[in-house]
Amino acid sequence: MLQANQIRPSISLWSSPVIIHKKKDDDSFPQPTTKELLHRLCGHCFYSKLDLKFGYFQIPIHEADKEKTSFITQDGLWEFNVLPQGIMNGPPTFQRTMHNLLGYGRWDYVMAYLDDILLFSPEANFQVNPDKCFIAVQEIDFLGHTINQHSIKPNGEKIKAIVDLPSSKTLKEANEFLGKINWYRKFIPNFARIAAPLHKVTNKTKHRRHEFRWGPEQQQSFEEFKHILTTSPLFLEYPDLSTPFTLTTDASDIGIGGILRQNTPAGTKINYFKSRVLNDTERKYDIFEKEALAIYWCITELRSYIGDSNFIVETDHRPLENFHLKQINNKRVMNWTFKLQDI
């Protein structure tokens, strides 16, 4: 790092201990969400992915701020000349730099998620890592997903890593499994129902973690997820914005959910699965309110995906037919109706 001019000797009054964090290969600048990024990638024939070489270390630090990055080692006190990894404002600072660098091309033909970008600008003097770059390919891995012109699916290596996990023996292992499987919940119908037994034993406060118990119910949920990952066709098709969406919702005593799809001449396109468990208050709702909540929640969650397109809502609860046009004698449901009208 010294030879690369990334650090220099320091006489700063600031000092932090060195903490090494194994890397996979209060500023609040917003990070783009995975949903936003993946949605914008539909319909293209070719993709190129560039990985910036030592991304953070290509961002110089203002001279007056270098002393604030000082750290102590057995060889003395040092400070960074470039943006260090692990600093609190590192990710938003880097994302802001990429945001400004890509300018008006953002979202149209180039996107960036930290140091993973789809365009290289020699004028900005950023260097890419050729070993991690892919140029003009028809299918590409991005943010744990495999993307092509027509659909998006989970990355095969990520799925294998989940399937290879053994049954959880500790709360930490159970949370690790839930975290990994949750990343692909949009591909799994009834995700919340299947995951409910796992949440039951992982939603522990700090003082109740010793109560963790992995029983038959959790093992069944664990195996059902693995079965889905290895046998079901896990992919979602990009929307055809010229075709209306159909949102089918449902509710149970455990959770609510919906399926967003399109009926096209080529067949049915599945665009998204959404579901979540009900909280303690919501479980006390009657069936009319639960089914209405399913409609309200799914529309609000998928609104950014649907955009201004027309869509049809399907429900198996007949009293809710055209409920947005009726005078409903239920303040809670009427409140959801008014909120939907403002979307």
Per-residue pLDDT of 173-189, as tens digits, reads 999 999 999 999 999 99
Do 247 and 206 share a domain, yes or no? Answer: no
Q: Residue 222: which CATH number?
A: 3.30.70.270
Q: Residue 265: which CATH number?
A: 3.10.20.370
Contacts of 64 (CB under 8 A, 6+ apart): none
Do 23 and 139 share a domain, yes or no? Answer: yes
Question: Between these two residues, 176 and 123, which has the higher pLDDT value?
Answer: 176
Phi and psi based region of residue 112 (left: phi greater than 0; alpha: psi -120 to 50; beta: remaining): beta
Predicted confidence (pLDDT) at residue 149 exceeds the cutoff of 50: yes
Do 252 and 333 share a domain, yes or no? Answer: yes
Q: Residue 142: which CATH number?
A: 3.30.70
Least confident of 16-30, 152-166, 177-191: 16-30
Do 22 and 111 share a domain, yes or no? Answer: yes
Question: Between these two residues, 127 and 79, which has the higher pLDDT value?
Answer: 79
Do 12 and 69 share a domain, yes or no? Answer: yes
Predicted confidence (pLDDT) at residue 121 exceeds the cutoff of 50: no
Q: What is the pLDDT of residues 23-44, one digit of tens each?
A: 444 555 555 676 666 666 666 6
Least confident of 89-103, 216-230, 259-273, 293-307: 89-103
Q: What is the pLDDT of residues 231-253, one digit of tens each?
A: 888 888 888 878 899 999 999 99
Do 80 and 145 share a domain, yes or no? Answer: yes
Of 185, 207, 231, which residue is a domain's last?
Answer: 231
Which tokens is 203 given? 């939603």
Of 121, 149, 177, which residue is a domain's last?
Answer: 149
Question: What is the domain extent for residue 193?
Answer: 155-231
Band of residue 120 on the pLDDT scale cut at 50, 70, 90: very low
Do 185 and 245 share a domain, yes or no? Answer: no
- Total of domains in the chain: 3
Helix/strand number for the chain, H first, E second: 8, 16
Beta carbons within 10 angstroms of residue 252's beta carbon: 17
Question: Between these two residues, 152 and 111, which has the higher pLDDT value?
Answer: 152
Of 183, 213, 231, which residue is a domain's last?
Answer: 231
Mean pLDDT of 270-284: 94
